[in-house]
Amino acid sequence: MRLLLISLQSNASLVGLKYIAANVRSHGHDAQILLLPGYLDPTLHPGIESFVRTYKPDLIGIGLMSIEYYPAKNLSRLLKEKFSTPVIWGGLHVILKPEECIRYADYVCCGEGENAVVSLLDHLRDKGRDSIPDIPNIWVNDNGTIIRRDAFPEVDLDSLPVIEYLPDYFYGFHKGRIINFAHDPKLFRSYALYGGTCHMMITTRGCPFYCGYCANAYTMTVFGKKIRKRSVESCIEELKLVKKDPYVIYINFEDDWFFSHDYEWMRKFSEEYKKHINLPFMVRVFPGVLDREKLFMLRDAGLSLVIMGVQSGSDRVNFEIYNRKVKFSSVKKAANLLNESKVAPYYEMIVDNPYETEEDEMESIRSMAQLKKPYTISLAHLTFFPGTLLTERALKEKIVDPDAYLTRYMVKIDETYFNKLLYMAPYIPRFFIQYLNRPKAERNVVHRALTTLLFFVAKRTVEPAVFFFVLTRGLKYNFKLTVRTVTGNWKSALAKVLFNFLGKKDMEFDERLALARKEMPELFEK
């Protein structure tokens, strides 16, 4: 049986689809992956149609985050006009809104897809499409009749095959042609995050926290709070395979909760990683539980960059609005530890929050300005995902468009006065921040003009310089790795400078989505 997996996202870093494809292939089926970035054309391009006809898939899978909902709806319609092949949707948006998604697909996968998709392929092979499958996680659209199934048992992460950095069955749609990325790795790198210098992987699944804004809080209803973990052996096996590609210079561990591994796992991993892999890597941490011993073990093994979610410098916002029980004093303690370890610290913040007062925003700016420099910062627009505590509150109080999350990237922030100040907190002297950090009623033309000027200068000169320094320090002043990192990432970095924090391909999709609203209004109807 043949499975064609399609991604509509703007970049080629497809960890989830890679795991599904690898597992399908390990069970005797065939699979190919096709990247169609934000495809919103009113007709199916002949190149795409020819590719599908040549491959002759028995099942077409579309993986989607919420921002890809309308492209998925559009593509499913186009595929059904040309082919009789059943279509299955999967991914985070399907888990959030299965009742909505099943209207446009033959099947949807409402949980982890690796084993469920294999079972569906087995069913189609053995019993055919006319037989309704009874497979946990797989909902069925039987000519308009929706058949719902319970959740599939949790996947044992060590039972899954490891994934490759660039598998030879990975294709992309580029300038009207389907290209095998493995045959054109330079093109692949132009679509991959970080210029393709990183391999994305996970060592755990799950998060124990119930933050009010996070989609993970809803997925707990599917997966529970338990954190599942891979063995060190499984992780190192994947990394040994990845390291064979000479272009990979970083490993990006995308776990929400990497530090959930115990001391024994961390020691063994650090020893094996340093011995067999010895590449710089990055992890994500939660400030309240950053452990000194684990941090320095990882630093010795090659840890170079740490991403830490701060979200707000206001304790009121974190506790009362975000249901995130972390005082800023814990953030300061964690930040001091990161600076002591000399990794590159990267702090994430949420902005554009309608529940924040001016005083909350000012407190957040004051708090971040207190942190020891150097560090870099990332701002994200508050997105109201379905099923979260904050979304339920906002909908009840009628202060949010319930469909806004389908059309706006989180990194497309509003360039407000306070957002500019918050963004500049790591890059300009504290006394400037203190002088400019005042409510609207107290600002004058000097404050506004100076903020605009400093923001322009910081974004285009100071921030790149600071990032270059902390990255160099995180790489232990390895000049060769620093140069390779900069040369691999300069295009994506430049794009974010020019396009209000969006990458170039994200901005292109943003424009296509706006155009599609005008040219295909029926696509956006309920």
Residues near 165 by Cβ (< 8 Å), separated by ≥ 6? 199, 241, 242, 245, 248
pLDDT value, residue 441: 96
Listed as own residue / partner, the contacts of 320-325 with beta carbons closer than 8 Å and 24 or more positions apart are 321/212, 321/353, 321/355, 321/356, 321/390, 322/211, 322/212, 322/213, 322/350, 322/390, 323/210, 323/211, 323/212, 323/389, 323/390, 324/209, 324/211, 324/212, 325/288
**Looking at the domain that runs over 2-158, which CATH code has it been given?**
3.40.50.280
Decide if 2-158 and 192-510 have a common fold. no
Domain ranges of the chain: 2-158, 192-510
| Cα-Cα end-to-end distance for the chain | 34
- So what's the pLDDT on residue 307? 96
Sign of CA dihedral 144, 149, 151, 155: negative
Report the distance separating Cα 257 and Cα 344, nearest Å.
18
Separation in Å, CA 466 to CA 251, 325, 362, 458: 22, 30, 24, 10
What's the pTM?
A: 0.94
Residue 130: which residues within 8 A CB-CB, separation 6 or more?
Answer: none
The pLDDT value given to residue 489: 66
pLDDT for the residue numbered 208: 82
Q: Are strands 204-205 and 228-229 parallel, antiparallel or unpaired?
A: antiparallel
Alpha-helix runs per DSSP H in 7-137: 15-26, 46-55, 69-82, 92-96, 98-101, 114-127
Walk along the chain (526 residues) and give the pLDDT tens digit of each residue.
999 999 999 999 999 999 999 999 999 999 999 999 999 999 999 999 999 999 999 999 999 999 999 999 999 999 999 999 999 999 999 999 999 999 999 999 998 999 999 999 999 999 999 999 999 999 999 999 999 998 776 889 999 999 999 999 999 999 999 999 999 999 999 899 888 889 999 999 988 888 989 887 777 767 767 899 999 999 999 999 999 998 899 999 999 889 999 999 999 999 999 999 999 999 999 998 899 999 999 999 999 999 999 999 999 999 999 999 999 999 999 999 999 999 999 999 999 999 999 999 999 999 999 999 999 999 999 999 988 889 999 999 999 898 999 999 998 999 999 999 999 999 999 999 999 999 999 999 999 999 999 999 998 889 888 988 888 888 888 878 877 777 766 566 655 555 667 777 788 888 899 999 999 999 998 7
CATH superfamily assigned to domain 192-510 = Aldolase class I (3.20.20.70)
> Looking at residue 474, what is its pLDDT?
87
pLDDT at 505: 79
